[in-house]
Structure 1
Amino acid sequence: MTAQVRGVAAPTRAQVPAGTLRTDRWWLLPAATTVGLLTFVVYGGFRAFQQQYFFADERYLTPFYSPCVSLGCASEPGSAHFGMFLPDHPLIPYAALSLPFLLVFRLTCYYYRKAYYRSVWIAPAACAVPEPHAKYTGETRFPLILQNAHRYLFYLTVIISLINTYDAIVAFRHPDDGFVVGIGNVVLLANVVLLWCYTLSCHSCRHVMGGRLTHFSKHPVRYRIWTWISALNTRHATFAWITLGTLVVTDLYVLLVASGTITDLRLVG
């Protein structure tokens, strides 16, 4: 029996020799998305394993090393807010307790799925542009069925966001000068606020607040929270990209201060 041909090559479809009739630069968006995601992965991977310049002015801890729980954190006194218990090894990030979960959380994020499916996976790259894959099984088989872990990773991400918030708050206290406010504090605080916007605008968070409710009228508090999160959810893609940028900017600022390239400007204290 001859296998039935499906997709754009099916006999019932118009036989158009061209891959697509689009004449605009439809490839720009998927190409830019690929470059943006790849840039963050390369930078973040390098910094996670660099194992230096992660703690500045005895109070600024970069989010790429939070929480700093490696024995190597002893090189920067005050950076390990929650103790040191992981072995110090070049192949183990100082924040190995959080980075894998954050990476998988973003990898399984509903927006990021759409972004890299269309750009890296080309499934499809754009409207009226056929994808090169011979078949489509959706997210029902391995490995894509693991995308469903996103809803559970959300809870771990909330805990890590609380840790990042703690880092930003304790950074206002210098061990020698007491309460101070520097440019680094503004950078860390802005990053935390935007990370919370990304986390709380998550589809999983929206579902937790109101997804299982049958009658909103019987749960007015949860309904109100659900409406707030729904409003944030409309900007989830925006926060997804903004936080990639703020993470890099925050880490880069800590790196520059820690390496002595620039000096943190104090606004108070």
Structure 2
Amino acid sequence: MATGTEPETDAVPAVTAGDRARGGVHHPSRAAIPDRHLRRDRWWLAPAGTAAGLFAFIVYSTWRAFADTDYYAAPYVSPFYSPCLAENCVPMRGGPNWEIFGAWWGLSPALLILIFPLGFRLTCYYYRKAYYRGFWASPPACAVAEPHRTYSGETRLPLILQNIHRYFFYFAVLVAGILTYDTVLGFRDESYAWGHMGLGTLVLLVNVALIWAYTLSCHSCRHIVGGRLKHFSKHPVRYRLWGWVSKLNARHAQLAWASLISVAVADFYVYLLATGAFDDPRFF
């Protein structure tokens, strides 16, 4: 209780000159709150988990991309290596071997194709949020201020390159189409006769379904389908498609993680078959 004529106030520490120089949460334009944030939950678990998950995938995909081996076990091909664009590719009967880079490319052929799905994911609106928070703490979580003094957004290098996401979307659709073709070829046996279905076929089928769901749930896809329309009533087909894509878009984050895990699982399954760890279980 206040006494006399003194108003009842909360004691707030003064902002020093050093605080002003640091900027960020100590900038004089911010509320003078002594704590860096008022959250009492384990807010750090989400960004830490995101960083750990993405780091694990980066380590695994880097190993497999530079391995340049064990990516084809007839009739299955790893999604990391399809389509094969160099002469040093393992011959894949019926597979998309387009030797447009000739013999001069001496590195792993995966490095020629992974740039497209990788670019699509790096510039994805969800993944930006994920790794901005997980790796750069920008910001680390809702209602937790970031530690950086300044923020320029995506207006300068290198983050301005995020704006090419819509163009990577077209390449992502092409890659998804090629992976669909690979999945169809998975319905063959070792002698390339049709009518086969093994566990590998199912693995590739689930993977390509998740890849398509993630790709079509993209914000750029949603804009391409229904953006720039003034009257939905005049474009019933595009409106219906926009509605379907919007439903997928609401699950974009979940589909991003599911497809990231599935593509790693599909590659690892082909790797196990190619190294002779076990034979592909056959359903028929």
Same fold (TM over 0.5): yes
Q: Specify the alignment match of 2:9 in structure 1.
A: none
Match of 1:249, as an amino acid? V
RMSD: 2.1
Deviation at 1:24, TM superposition (A): 2.1
- What does 1:1-269 align with in structure 2 at a 5 Å threshold? 7-56=24-73, 58-74=74-90, 76-78=91-93, 80-86=95-101, 87=103, 92-174=107-189, 176=191, 178-179=193-194, 180-268=196-284
Deviation at 1:79, TM superposition (A): 7.1
- What is the rounded CA distance, in whole Å, between the counterparts of 1:28 and 1:88 in structure 2? 46
Deviation at 1:128, TM superposition (A): 2.8
Match of 1:40, as an amino acid? F
Deviation at 1:197, TM superposition (A): 0.1
5+ residue gaps, structure 1: none
- What is the rounded CA distance, in whole Å, between the counterparts of 1:24 and 1:228 in structure 2? 36
- What is the rounded CA distance, in whole Å, between the counterparts of 2:276 and 2:94 in structure 1? 17
TM-score by length of 2: 0.87
Contact map agreement 2:139 2:145 (CA 8 A) in 1: yes
- What is the rounded CA distance, in whole Å, between the counterparts of 2:246 and 2:203 in structure 1? 27
The change in CA–CA distance for 1:177 and 1:101 in structure 2 (over 3 A counts) is closer
Count of residues paired in the alignment: 264
Identify the range of structure 1 (165-174 vs 7-16) with the bigger mean alpha-carbon deviation: 7-16
Deviation at 1:177, TM superposition (A): 5.5
Q: Percent identity?
A: 52
Match of 1:65, as an amino acid? Y
Deviation at 1:95, TM superposition (A): 3.1
- What is the rounded CA distance, in whole Å, between the counterparts of 1:14 and 1:219 in structure 2? 48
Contact map agreement 2:80 2:114 (CA 8 A) in 1: yes
Deviation at 1:173, TM superposition (A): 2.1
Match of 2:126, as an amino acid? Y
Match of 1:24, as an amino acid? D
Deviation at 1:96, TM superposition (A): 3.5
Deviation at 1:71, TM superposition (A): 1.6
- What is the rounded CA distance, in whole Å, between the counterparts of 1:41 and 1:79 in structure 2? 30
Contact map agreement 2:120 2:168 (CA 8 A) in 1: yes
- What is the rounded CA distance, in whole Å, between the counterparts of 1:229 and 1:97 in structure 2? 30
Contact map agreement 1:31 1:119 (CA 8 A) in 2: yes
Match of 1:48, as an amino acid? A
The change in CA–CA distance for 1:79 and 1:65 in structure 2 (over 3 A counts) is farther
The change in CA–CA distance for 1:138 and 1:174 in structure 2 (over 3 A counts) is same
- What is the rounded CA distance, in whole Å, between the counterparts of 2:99 and 2:252 in structure 1? 34
- What is the rounded CA distance, in whole Å, between the counterparts of 1:104 and 1:60 in structure 2? 25
Question: Deviating runs (4+, > 6 A) in structure 1?
Answer: none
- After superposition, give the CA deviation of every residue in 1:169-226 in whole Å (9 maximum; x if it has no partner): 0121236261211110010011001100000000000000011111111111111001
- What is the rounded CA distance, in whole Å, between the counterparts of 1:77 and 1:62 in structure 2? 11
